[in-house]
Amino acid sequence: MENDSIRSSGEFTLVEVWIDGKLRDISVGRDAIGGFLQLPPDQAAAISDDDCREFVRTRLAFVVAAARERLRSSDPNADVIAITADQMRVHEKPGFVDRRKDDRRKTDRRKSSGTSGLVGDRRQNDRRKGDRRKRPAPPKGGTKS
C-alpha cells in the first residue's frame, strides 16, 4: 500500500480502499485503535500519528472487515465510513496469526521409509559410478579395401 493513501487527520486515521467496487474513505478513530489494543483511554489518546498509521497499515484486513460490516448494517452506498471502538473489537479473531510472521513449514517433513541402501542425503551419494556417456563400440567387421 502506498504511504500517501494512509494519513492522519486530528483524532482519525484515514485510508482509501476499494470495497465492493467503489473507492471508499475509512476513518479509524484513536479510540478504536486503543480499544483494539485494549489500552486505557488515557494511553489511547496519547498514541502518536505515526503509530496510528502503522496500526492501520499492518491491520488493514481488520479495518476493511469492520468497514464492510458497517456498510452492511447501514448505508451500502456510503463513501465515508467511520470505525469506532466497539466495531473494531468485534472483528478481532482469537488465535489469528499473521501469515507473514508465522513459520509456514510444519515441524518435520515426511521421511521415506524405504531408503534402499542409500546412506545419508541422496544428493551426497555418488550414484554415478562409471562414465556418464559411454563411447560407442567400434563397428564390427571393419572396412573393406
Give the separation between CA 3 and CA 1, rounded to whole angstroms: 6
pLDDT digits (tens, 9 = 90+) for 38-83: 888 888 888 899 999 999 999 888 888 888 888 988 888 899 999 8
Q: Which three cell numbers stand for residue 29?
A: 478513530
In the structure, what pLDDT confidence band is assigned to residue 121 with cuts at 50, 70 and 90? Answer: low
Q: Does the pLDDT at position 34 exceed 80?
A: yes
Spatial contact of 15 and 34, defined as CB atoms under 8 Å apart: no
> What does DSSP assign to residue 135?
P
Walk me through the domains of the chain, giving residue ranges and CATH numbers: 3-90 (3.30.160)
DSSP conformation letters of 24-64: EEEEEEHHHHHHHTT--HHHHHT--HHHHHHHHHHTHHHHH
Give the separation between CA 36 and CA 26, rounded to whole angstroms: 16
In the structure, what pLDDT confidence band is assigned to residue 20 with cuts at 50, 70 and 90? Answer: confident
Give the separation between CA 48 and CA 50, rounded to whole angstroms: 5
